[in-house]
Structure formats: structure tokens, C-alpha cells
Amino acid sequence: MELPRKILIGEGVVSEVGSLIKSLDTVATAVAVVTGPIVRARAGHECDSSLEKASLNISWHIVSDASLATVTRLQEKIASRLPDFVIGFGGGRSVDVAKMTAFKIGRPFLSVPTSASHDGISSPFVSVRGTDKPHSVKANTPIGVIADTHLMSQAPPRLFASGCGDLVAKITAVKDWELARDEKGEYFGSYAANLAYMSAKIILEESGRLKRRSQFSIRTVVEALISAGVAACIAGSSRPCSGAEHLFSHAVEYVGGPCHGLHGERVGLGTIMMAKLHGFDWEKIAETLENVGAPTKAKQIGLTEENVVKALTTAQSLRPDRYTILSKVKLNKKSAHSLAKSVKVI
Ligand SMILES: [Zn+2]
């Protein structure tokens, strides 16, 4: 079991990135920071000055997508002088590219997310396009996580709502895992499942308060996301965090392209539909998503009825080995359409 060694959450903690690296490795001299253009301009100087203060040589690498080609390019760029740490500083793309690159070059990865948008900030799992797998794959667990709630409060509200979508998904992910235990005899880790479930439950219970996006809200959501990521570390698989609702999201990317919504937005829609199939209170899920400003209808993220039906009917085939509610309830065009209609996703 591999867990993050240090986790810092709070206002302004990005200024501690340099000292945290030195506390993990006193002889570290060089770091590679992977980020996006907006984050570099908005908050790069704070990260810079903290790393400089710790006498670390910094190389910045701006990435604009999370693809295997980008990872390979970055790997080639830093091959002549490998850094002691790779830092993912930014949103999902930067964190994913940094995590995958660190894994490939065998260096520790430090996660410094600037938005509370998904649980990959603390898990070993990564989604990059261009691999032979249309779902997330395992890399290394971040050695540390620095979640600056001040930086996160400045991120677009849509990213926060997306993080809530990725959290409610743990309801159906855990239900799928229970189903696989009951029907296929799959190993089920109660502790990991409960931890993931709890991170969803807090969003269901607090969504009315969370929508104000106060420091309190951001802290609650980021703690829940980190806990969910840790649940995946404990389970040693993405099982507690990712079920049929994630397969739906991957299938949407597959049939509609990556431009249709953010990860947590697609996953949130998937959760509404999978909750109905599981006999869970799907209206509560939809109400929660609406409360935090996340989409509950496919058209809000530019998806057509046809996209949704295609994604629902192909989702399970993207990962046949992962037993979910979609393995049990085999949807055809007609039943997929009526499911999406019945929960008002289309
Ligand atoms: Zn997710």
C-alpha cells in the first residue's frame, strides 16, 4: 500500500512547496514543474519563490493537453538531466502529465492542484489520451499533496462543481464494487469502500452550504477528494472511486470527443443514471449536483441524445473486466434512451 507521505491543506500553503521538498529529500537540487499557461501566469511566481528559497533549480514545462505524446515529449526534454522531483502544479491535465512523467522516469511526484476538480490529486491513477486503455491507468501515488485553498478559490466555479461531481460518483462506484463482490466473488475492501462512500456522503449532506464556495466549502471538497484518492491507494485499485458512471464518462469521450464537459461533469451525469439502475435515490444525486452548480442535463455540456445513448450502450465494453451494474443490466438503444429520459438527463 502506497500513501502520500505529507499532505498540506490551507490558505497560502503553496509557499511551503520548497520546504516540503527539502523535508522529503534534504539533498534534492532540481525540480521540474509541469503546469498550464494560465496557472503559470496567475500563480507561478508564488511557487517559484518558494522553490528558490529552498535553493532548488527549477525547470518549468507548460502543457496544454494530457496525452501520451505530451508525456513522451516532456520525458525527452528532461532526459539529459533528470529532476529529483516532478511537480504537477495546476488542474487535471498538469497533474496527470506530471504524475505519468514522474512514473516513467522513476522520480517522486508532488501534487500541487490549483482547483478542487477531481480525485486524481491524491490517487495513483491517471487519465492520459493515446494509451491503449480508454480508462485511467495506474502510475505512482503522489509523495505529497499541497492544496492551497486560496488558489483554489480563484479557480473557475465550474471546476469546483466538477469536483463535487467526481465525489457523488463514489456512491455508484461503491455500489458497483458491492455488486462485483456479491455476484462475482470479487475482493471487496470495506475500509476503502467506506472511506470513498463517506467522501460522497458529505457532499450529499452539505451541498446547500457548499454552493457558496467559501474557504470552508473548498476545504470540505478538497479533503473529500483527497480521502477518495487515498481510498484508491488503500484498495490498490480505482474500484472505490470509479464504477459504471466513470465508464459512461470515458465512453462519452470516446464517442463525442474530450471537449464534451469536464471529467466530474460527465461523471455526475453518469452517476444520476447509474443510481437509478441501482435503485438509489437518483433525485437526491441530481438535486445535489444542481445545488453545487454542476450539470444535470446532457445538453448543458453539449451532448446530444444520440451521444448519451451511444455512450450508455458502449460504456461497459471499454472495460469488460470491471463488473458493474452495466454488466448486469445490459442496455440496448431503447432501454438506454428510456433510462436517460426517466432521470431527465435527456
Ligand atoms: Zn473520477
pLDDT band at 258 (very low <50, low <70, confident <90, very high): low
The tens digit of pLDDT for each residue in 266-301 reads 999 999 999 999 999 999 999 999 999 999 999 999
Residue 274 C-alpha to ligand 1 middle, in angstroms? 15
Ligand 1 centroid, distance to 127 Cα (angstroms): 9
Spatial neighbors of 90 by CB under 8 A, at least 6 apart, are 34, 35, 36, 39, 112, 113, 114
The tens digit of pLDDT for each residue in 23-36 reads: 999 999 999 999 99
In contact, 140 and 285? CB cutoff 8 Å: no
264 Cα–ligand 1 center, Å: 6
Distance 126 CA to ligand 1 centre (A): 10
Ligand 1 center from residue 308 Cα (angstroms): 18
Q: For 322, list phi and psi in degrees, rounded to 5.
A: -95, 105
Residue 172 CA, ligand 1 centroid: distance in Å: 12
Spacing, Cα 241 to ligand 1 middle (Å): 7
Spacing, Cα 128 to ligand 1 middle (Å): 13
- What is the Å distance from ligand 1's center to 117 Cα? 9
Q: What are phi and psi of 60, to 5 degrees?
A: -95, 140
129 Cβ partners below 8 Å, 6+ apart? Answer: 65, 66, 67, 68, 258
pTM for the model: 0.94
Mean pLDDT on 327-341 = 97
Q: Which of 289, 327, 295 is nearest to 308 (CA)?
A: 295
Ligand 1: centre distance to CA 229 (Å): 9
